């Protein structure tokens, strides 16, 4: 009897202890949940919402508590994880030292690491347990600055050559004042270098003007037939000097929207480039046609052609396939760069087809303006002008 009573008391005590332990466990669990709630300092969320920069807030174990849409767009955050170890290293140092850090980093963009993004990152403690990362996209600014510095360096180098040559030739002429034949020879060389220097300065001025042009605001309907005719006319003298015929074939029925002077400059440079590299007593063909809402202009020469591995770079500033030949022809290395820049400003594209020994065809495509049919200006384009491809443009331009 006593044993049964003791057993009952022990069971009752164990039951009461179990209930008490359960309630204590529930209370501790609720307290842990409440402590774990991410609570930002008062006003922090409002400030971050208007700051205009990508931001990420991480906790004591670098878990993402909050991040802006821009942070995800930049590829800094994926899910609740900071992607880049460089950023995690910064947060670790700030958490340890309590000192604000600022760095400019070049980071892979996207999960496959294709492409990079340059960001100015500022990392600072926020509250007692959070770290704030502010990121500003500096990719375009940094690359533009690098291009500008590279352009200045290239211009300095390109100007140095003709200026130095003119100076040296002037000294030589002065020393050979009694030798009439030598004076004439060196004066002719000086004149050639002066022409080259003038062309280079003119192209640099032209390129600077193009970069400041706003085609969207200043544009108007442009008749490319008239533009091509003027570009051909401006190249008649250098063509005649090499006994080169410029043959124009086809016609465009619809205008394009843009700046007539800029388009003329681009097409003049394209034809000038063909004349420079075409052999004497040959033809340069200019073909015009419409295709699927695009005005297509092809310029074909019978020059030495361009190797396939060089074709990707010929539109770069100051790039020359054959530097020695460019000096001989008087090229500045800016002509095709100007062409590409102008055509891109007008929403078009320029491409090249070339084979060594078979000449080259440069093709410009620009969107035509849509016009009402009742104005009688948007009629069907003749089938003979709707051909496409490099071979068609070569045949149309050369044999027209």
Q: Of 272, 266, 197, give the one whose Cα is nearest residue 236.
A: 272
In the chain, pLDDT over 90 holds for what percent of residues?
25
Comparing 246 with 10, the larger pLDDT belongs to 246
What's the first-to-final CA gap in the chain, in angstroms?
A: 125
Asked if pLDDT for residue 371 goes beyond 90, the answer is no
Structure tokens at 45: 């969320």
Q: Is the dihedral of CA 393, 397, 398, 400 positive or negative?
A: positive
Q: How many CA atoms lie within 13 A of 375 on its CB side?
A: 7
d(CA 251, CA 310): 32
Residue 248 pLDDT > 70, yes or no? yes
279-288 pLDDT, tens per residue?
999 999 999 9
Mean pLDDT (the chain) is: 75
The pLDDT of residue 342: 85
User: Which H or E run includes 82?
Assistant: strand 81-82
Return phi, psi of residue 252, to 5°.
-105, 130
Q: Hey, is 387 helix, strand or coil?
A: coil
b/e sequence 323-351, b meaning 16+ C-beta within 10 Å = eeebbeeebbbbbbbbbbbbbebbebebe
Would you state the pLDDT for residue 203?
Answer: 66
Domains observed in the chain: 51-137 (3.30.450.20), 140-212 (1.10.287.130), 215-399 (3.30.565.10)
Contact between residue 254 and residue 290 where contact means Cβ atoms under 8 Å apart: yes
- Say what the pLDDT of residue 324 is: 44
Instruction: Report the chain's C-alpha Rg in angstroms.
Output: 35
C-alpha of 339 from chain center? 15
Distance CA 26, CA 61 (A): 25
pTM over 0.75: no
Would you list the DSSP string of 94-114?
Answer: HHHH---EEEEEEEE-STT--
**What pLDDT score does 39 carry?**
58
Q: What is the pLDDT of residue 246?
A: 94
The residue that leads in pLDDT, 94 or 216, is 94
pLDDT band at 33 (very low <50, low <70, confident <90, very high): very low
How would residue 144 be classed by pLDDT, with cut points 50, 70 and 90?
low
Q: What is the pLDDT of residues 186-210, one digit of tens each?
A: 888 888 778 777 767 776 666 666 6
> pLDDT tens-digit profile of 40-92?
666 666 677 667 688 999 998 999 988 888 888 888 888 888 989 999 999 99
pLDDT-derived band at 381, boundaries 50, 70, 90: very low
Output 34 or 2, whichever has higher pLDDT.
2
Which residues have CB under 8 Å from 180's CB, separation 6+?
Answer: none
Percentage of residues in the chain with pLDDT exceeding 70?
A: 65
Closest of 307, 360, 368 to residue 336, by C-alpha = 360
The pLDDT tens digits of the residues spanning 312-358 come to: 777 775 555 454 444 444 455 677 888 888 888 888 888 989 888 88
pLDDT at 34: 41
**Poorest-pLDDT segment among 347-356, 365-374, 387-396:** 387-396
Predicted local confidence at residue 388, as pLDDT: 41
């Amino acid at each position: 009897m006593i044993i049964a009573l003791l057993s009952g008391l022990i069971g009752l005590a164990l039951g009461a202890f179990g209930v008490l332990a359960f309630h204590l466990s529930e209370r501790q669990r609720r307290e842990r949940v409440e402590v774990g709630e991410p609570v930002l300092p008062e006003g922090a969320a409002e400030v971050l919402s208007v700051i205009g920069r990508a931001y990420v807030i991480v906790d004591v174990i670098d878990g993402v508590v909050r991040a802006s849409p821009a942070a995800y767009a930049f590829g800094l955050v994926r899910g609740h994880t900071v992607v880049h170890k460089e950023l995690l290293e910064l947060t670790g140092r700030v958490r340890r030292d309590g000192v604000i850090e600022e760095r400019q980093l070049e980071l892979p963009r996207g999960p496959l690491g294709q492409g990079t993004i340059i960001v100015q990152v500022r990392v600072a403690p926020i509250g007692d347990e959070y770290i704030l990362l502010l990121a500003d996209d500096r990719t375009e600014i940094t690359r533009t600055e690098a291009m500008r510095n590279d352009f200045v360096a290239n211009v300095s180098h390109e100007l140095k050559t003709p200026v130095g040559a003119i100076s040296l030739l002037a000294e030589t002429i002065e020393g050979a004042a009694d030798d009439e034949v030598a004076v004439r020879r060196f004066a002719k060389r000086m004149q050639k270098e002066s022409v080259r220097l003038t062309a280079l300065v003119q192209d640099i001025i032209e390129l600077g003007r193009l970069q400041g042009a706003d085609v969207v605001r200043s544009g108007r309907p442009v008749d490319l037939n008239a533009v091509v005719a003027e570009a051909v006319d401006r190249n008649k003298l250098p063509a005649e000097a090499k006994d080169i015929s410029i043959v124009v074939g086809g016609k465009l029925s619809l205008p394009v929207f843009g700046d007539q002077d800029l388009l003329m400059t681009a097409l003049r440079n394209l034809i000038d480039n063909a004349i420079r590299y075409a052999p004497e007593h040959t033809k340069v063909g200019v073909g015009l046609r419409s295709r699927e809402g695009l005005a297509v202009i092809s310029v074909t020469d019978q020059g030495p052609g361009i190797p396939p591995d060089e074709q990707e770079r010929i539109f770069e500033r100051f790039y020359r396939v054959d530097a020695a030949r460019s000096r001989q022809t008087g090229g500045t290395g800016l002509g095709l760069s100007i062409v590409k820049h102008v055509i891109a400003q007008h929403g078009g594209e320029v491409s090249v087809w070339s084979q060594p020994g078979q000449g080259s065809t440069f093709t410009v495509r620009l969107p035509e303006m849509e016009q009402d049919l009742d104005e009688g200006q948007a009629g069907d384009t003749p089938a003979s002008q709707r051909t496409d491809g490099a071979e068609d443009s070569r045949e149309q331009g050369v044999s027209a």
